[in-house]
Amino acid sequence: MASKSRYVWVEHELKDSSESKIPFVNAGLHYGFSVFEGIRCYATDTGAAIFRLEEHVDRLLDSAHIVGFRDLSFTRAELLEAIHKTVAANGFSACYIRPLIYLDGAMNLVVDSGKPRLMIAVWEWTSFLGAEARE
C-alpha cells in the first residue's frame, strides 16, 4: 500500500496532515469551485525529479484565472517553493503531487464572494503501470 502524506501544505505553511481541515460549508466542496493539477515526481540517481513542474504550475494558475480566482494569496514562485517543500517534508522520492486551489467561504455561485485557498498533498506512487502499479 502506498504511503500517504504526513505533511500537507495549507495556505502558507506545512501542517501535519491529520490537522488539515477544509470547512464543510464552502463553494469549493459543494459547487466544485476548485482547480487542481496532478504531477508526478520520479526517483532518479540524483534525487527526486518533478516532471514538468513549471508547466503544471502555469496551467494551474491559468485554470484559477479562468475560473475567476483573482486574489490568490501566493505568487507563482511561492507555489513552486511550496510544492518542493511539501515533497521534501514527506521524504518521498517517487510520488504523486496534488496542488488544489478551492473557493472557501461563499455558499453561492458568485466567485468573488469567497476566498481562494491553496492546499498541496503528496503520496507515494512508485509505478503507474506494470507489476508494481498502484491498484
For the chain, what are the domain ranges?
A: 7-16+26-124
Copy the grid coordinates of residue 122.
Answer: 503528496
Q: Which residue has the cell 507515494?
A: 124
Please give the DSSP secondary-structure letter assigned to residue 3.
P
CATH topology of domain 7-16+26-124: D-amino Acid Aminotransferase; Chain A, domain 1 (3.30.470)
- Is residue 8 over pLDDT 70? yes
Q: Amino acid letter at 32?
A: G
Q: Amino acid letter at 84?
A: H
108 — pLDDT class (breaks 50, 70, 90): confident
| First-to-last C-alpha distance (Å) of the chain | 9
- Average pLDDT of every residue of the chain: 90
The pLDDT of residue 18 is 92
Q: Amino acid letter at 24?
A: F
Copy the grid coordinates of residue 6.
Answer: 504526513
Q: Which of 107, 111, 113, 109 is nearest to 25 (CA)?
A: 107
Q: What is the mean pLDDT of residues 52-67?
A: 98
- Is residue 43 over pLDDT 70? yes
DSSP 37-104: --EEEEEETTEEEETTHHHHHHHHHHHHHHHT----SS-HHHHHHHHHHHHHHHT-SSEEEEEEEEEE
Q: Which of 98, 97, 90, 96 is nearest to 125 (CA)?
A: 96
**Coil/strand/helix, residue 10:** strand
